[in-house]
Chain A
Amino acid sequence: MVLVLALGDLHVPHRAPDLPAKFKSMLVPGKIQHIICTGNLCIKEVHDYLRTICPDLHIARGEYDEETKYPETKTLTIGQFKLGLCHGHQVIPWGDLDSLAMLQRQLDVDILVTGHTHQFTAYKHEGGVVINPGSATGAHSSITYDVNPSFVLMDIDGLRVVVYVYELIDGEVKVDKIDFKKTTTSHSAH
């Protein structure tokens, strides 16, 4: 039972002052084992805050990040799943499923987490899942101002992952759940 927090696109301090209070009250240290962040934090203070929630922190570089040392893409293995991380501004058209699928095949991962569009989406594609946790602060994106703060918590348990989506709609936290089971098909040799 591994809890993985996926969030990103906070744009602190340029577009938003901080995470919503209701989100902060829920993000208590000690419960989460890993954090994957799609990028655009943008400053070091946010990095330190995320560190206090969980010491195992993985970040991909977004175009507004002030820390230049983050990698463009990152892959990690948690339990039976391979996760891939990328900010998403590199994948054009932004948010396009087929292009993201190309990236997923390239990284050879089961779950691809990207951001940049500031909209939550979750697709199932070719035995894998593409997740966009949206913007945790509700910062406006290059495309739209209408953004609800959201983030994603994944519960990885064996071959099954349960994705909990936390959204702040009209001041209330709404939680949704998505189930995904990995089929144990090995990669066929092409």
Chain B
Amino acid sequence: MEPLHKTYLLKSPELPPLIQSPLVHYSTMLKDKLKLPDKARRVFPDRLGSLVSGFNDKEEENEDSASETEVGKELEILLPNASGSGEGSEDDYVEKIEEQRQSGIRQGPEKEGTGLVSVKEVIAADDKRSDLEYELSQMEINLEKLQRIADTGLPEGGGLRATVWKVCKQLLLGYLPPSRDLWEKELSENRQKYSKLKQELLLSPSQFTRIKDESLKSNEQSADNDGDGLLRRHEISQEDHPLSLGKASVWNQYFEHTEISEQIDRDLQRTHPDMKFFSGETSFSRKARPTEEISPTLLIAKVNNKSSFKVNDVMHFYLQEAMRNILLLFSKLNPAIRYVQGMNEVLAPLYYVFSTDPDEQNAVNAEADSFCCFVRLLSDSVDHFCQQLDNSAVGILSTLSRLSELLKANNEELWHHLEVTNKVKPQFYAFRWITLLLTQEFNFQSILRIWDSFLSNPFGVQDMLLRVCCAMLLCIRSRLLSGDFAANLKLLQHYPEINIEYLLQVARDLSPDTSSYRLSL
């Protein structure tokens, strides 16, 4: 890949004249404010990338898409060069670009703060959408470019978010491969795997015994059905009856899981009760509830005859059942952690995004897709849920101490004030932030926006999560510094509303997590 792109390197000198003019004088101001070592910025590709995409959106709207991809590829090579080498002109270039970006985006939140939706922003949003659509329509998806765009927030509607999340999540962990023609195959394979899993694990014992009987005793049953008289008794083993207490009994395992199942049901009732999607009964479910078990595709086929109901109404009807199945299946596949309260909160945004996809095919299979992505998302943080691992190097306590270290590295004053003066340890407030991936701290739309950045971070969700947590602390710094233990704890446990773009920007600017530098792959 390297040699090909080097030919494009020659084009780069064209850009600097555009960049230098308006915003150079901000650079000194910013340097003082941020107090960050310049070297740190260069190590992370995503920053440079977001700079480029920002400029693509605003400055090069009218250029055709070919040049966009070229610029993208240029900067990809620049990154490895910038991190290692000491070539003078490139270093300056990189530095200036980053300053411009920071100043440009710093201006952004101020503009939004005034509450006006400027024309520029509308144009930017449209451009972003068309960028995304262009990216997704390519045969071989350029993951990094997609991630950079996603990092700046995905537009609502049009199913773009669903697709990008699947791609991002998968590209890091393998759900949808980068080449588009493999998508169909992957999707259908995974959906089939899911329904097979469901059949194996979620079967009720009576269905299980029925299937077993049908395979064994098909000829004997016909004898029973003819004529009246004494019914024949068949002796069965000690494991096969419903009151069996044996460990291997299907029935016993089923009853052991009812406790978990009940807890899942209770939690699902409490998931986002303010959102109509999760709680309310739509008109469809009230009028047309089917009496027998029927799959979503069949139901949609039936429903299409009555045009007043839409696909999304149908999907909502299956919401509770679908989410319950996903969580139950997960708990059965992971007997070590089973179900922990809060997993429903992590599942909710995933399922919402996938089932509100306007593409019918995707919406119908939202359950299977969100199961796969849920498993992958949790595999990062599964160690946080296991109690035995609490004190180990991968458990929740070590993650919390990493958060502490990150805060100390970025703002020692605040760290000292919180940890030493106030004795507000991260365990008190950040536990929920980290295990639930911030789903309980912000409103739903903000959660979706934050998750865009999480999923598009090339270093993994956990890395970005810690940064955002640290950023959350930094953003309310002044209030924390002036508060005592009780006030600070109260403030942190009910985090105030904040401009999300600003928060994410602060998170991106943080100096790296120096204690353990690992790529979560």
- Interface residue ranges, A against B (CB under 8 Å): 1, 3, 25-28, 30-31, 121-126, 129, 153, 155, 157, 160, 162-166, 173-181
Q: Which residues of B contact A176 (CB under 8 A)?
A: 233-236
Cβ–Cβ contact A175 & B236, under 8 A? yes
Cβ–Cβ contact B231 & A177, under 8 A? no
A179 to B223 Cα, complex, angstroms: 12
- Interface residue ranges, B against A (CB under 8 Å): 204-207, 209-210, 213, 221, 224-225, 228-238, 240-245, 255, 258
Partner of B210, one of A27, A122, A160, A180: A160
Cβ–Cβ contact B242 & A3, under 8 A? yes
Cβ–Cβ contact B241 & A175, under 8 A? yes
How far in angstroms is the closest Cβ of chain A from B263? 14
Q: Which residues of B contact A31 (CB under 8 A)?
A: 242-243, 255
The answer to whether residues A1 and B243 also contact, given A178-B234, A179-B224, A181-B225 and a CB cut-off of 8 A, is no
Counting from the closest, the 5 A-B pairs by CB-CB distance are A26-B243, A176-B233, A157-B206, A1-B206, A122-B231
The answer to whether residues A165 and B228 also contact, given A26-B245, A155-B242 and a CB cut-off of 8 A, is no
Cβ–Cβ contact B233 & A162, under 8 A? no
Q: Which residues of B contact A181 (CB under 8 A)?
A: 225
A153 to B213 Cα, complex, angstroms: 18
30 residue pairs bridging A and B, Cβ less than 8 Å apart? A1-B204, A3-B242, A26-B243, A26-B244, A27-B243, A30-B255, A31-B243, A31-B255, A123-B229, A123-B230, A124-B224, A124-B230, A129-B231, A153-B241, A162-B209, A163-B231, A164-B241, A164-B242, A165-B233, A166-B243, A174-B235, A175-B235, A175-B236, A175-B237, A176-B233, A176-B236, A178-B231, A178-B233, A178-B234, A179-B213
A1 to B243 Cα, complex, angstroms: 14
Which among B205, B228, B232 has the highest number of chain A CB atoms within 10 Å? B228
Q: Which residues of A contact B221 (CB under 8 A)?
A: 179
Q: Which residues of B contact A124 (CB under 8 A)?
A: 224, 228-231
Q: Which residues of A contact B209 (CB under 8 A)?
A: 162
A33 to B206 Cα, complex, angstroms: 14
A179 to B206 Cα, complex, angstroms: 12
Q: Which residues of B contact A30 (CB under 8 A)?
A: 255, 258
Cβ–Cβ contact A162 & B243, under 8 A? no
Which among B205, B231, B235, B237 has the highest number of chain A CB atoms within 10 Å? B231
Q: Which residues of B contact A121 (CB under 8 A)?
A: 230
Which among A160, A166, A177, A181 has the highest number of chain B CB atoms within 10 Å? A177
How far in angstroms is the closest Cβ of chain A from B254? 9
Cβ–Cβ contact B238 & A175, under 8 A? yes
Q: Which residues of B contact A178 (CB under 8 A)?
A: 231-234
Residue of B nearest to A27 (CB): B243
Question: Given A121-B230, A176-B236, 11 other A-B contacts at CB below 8 A?
Answer: A1-B204, A28-B243, A28-B245, A31-B255, A123-B231, A157-B204, A157-B206, A175-B235, A175-B238, A175-B240, A180-B231
Cβ–Cβ contact A157 & B207, under 8 A? yes
How far in angstroms is the closest Cβ of chain B from A49? 16
Residue of B nearest to A165 (CB): B233
How far in angstroms is the closest Cβ of chain B from A97? 9
Q: Which residues of A contact B258 (CB under 8 A)?
A: 30
Cβ–Cβ contact B236 & A162, under 8 A? no
Q: Which residues of B contact A125 (CB under 8 A)?
A: 228
Cβ–Cβ contact B242 & A123, under 8 A? no
Residue of B nearest to A156 (CB): B206
A38 to B342 Cα, complex, angstroms: 46
A175 to B237 Cα, complex, angstroms: 7
How far in angstroms is the closest Cβ of chain A from B462? 39
A177 to B209 Cα, complex, angstroms: 11
How far in angstroms is the closest Cβ of chain A from B213? 7
How far in angstroms is the closest Cβ of chain B from A149? 14
A179 to B234 Cα, complex, angstroms: 9
Q: Which residues of B contact A174 (CB under 8 A)?
A: 235
A181 to B220 Cα, complex, angstroms: 13
Q: Which residues of B contact A160 (CB under 8 A)?
A: 210
Residue of B nearest to A180 (CB): B231
Residue of A nearest to B255 (CB): A31
Q: Which residues of A contact B232 (CB under 8 A)?
A: 178
Residue of A nearest to B237 (CB): A175
A175 to B255 Cα, complex, angstroms: 19
Q: Which residues of A contact B234 (CB under 8 A)?
A: 176-179
Q: Which residues of A contact B224 (CB under 8 A)?
A: 124, 179
Q: Which residues of B contact A28 (CB under 8 A)?
A: 243, 245
How far in angstroms is the closest Cβ of chain B from A23? 9
A176 to B224 Cα, complex, angstroms: 16
How far in angstroms is the closest Cβ of chain B from A21? 13
Q: Which residues of B contact A155 (CB under 8 A)?
A: 206, 242
Q: Which residues of B contact A153 (CB under 8 A)?
A: 241-243
A165 to B231 Cα, complex, angstroms: 12
How far in angstroms is the closest Cβ of chain A from B294? 14
Q: Which residues of B contact A27 (CB under 8 A)?
A: 243
A162 to B207 Cα, complex, angstroms: 11
A178 to B232 Cα, complex, angstroms: 7
Q: Which residues of B contact A175 (CB under 8 A)?
A: 235-238, 240-241
Q: Which residues of A contact B204 (CB under 8 A)?
A: 1, 157
Q: Which residues of A contact B213 (CB under 8 A)?
A: 179
How far in angstroms is the closest Cβ of chain A from B329? 18
How far in angstroms is the closest Cβ of chain A from B219? 13
Q: Which residues of A contact B237 (CB under 8 A)?
A: 175
Partner of A177, one of B238, B241, B243: B241
Q: Which residues of B contact A126 (CB under 8 A)?
A: 228
How far in angstroms is the closest Cβ of chain A from B480? 48
How far in angstroms is the closest Cβ of chain B from A183? 8
Residue of A nearest to B245 (CB): A26
Q: Which residues of B contact A179 (CB under 8 A)?
A: 213, 221, 224, 234
Cβ–Cβ contact A177 & B242, under 8 A? no
How far in angstroms is the closest Cβ of chain B from A184? 13
Partner of A25, one of B231, B245, B255: B245
How far in angstroms is the closest Cβ of chain A from B229? 7
Which among B213, B238, B242, B244 has the highest number of chain A CB atoms within 10 Å? B242
A21 to B240 Cα, complex, angstroms: 20
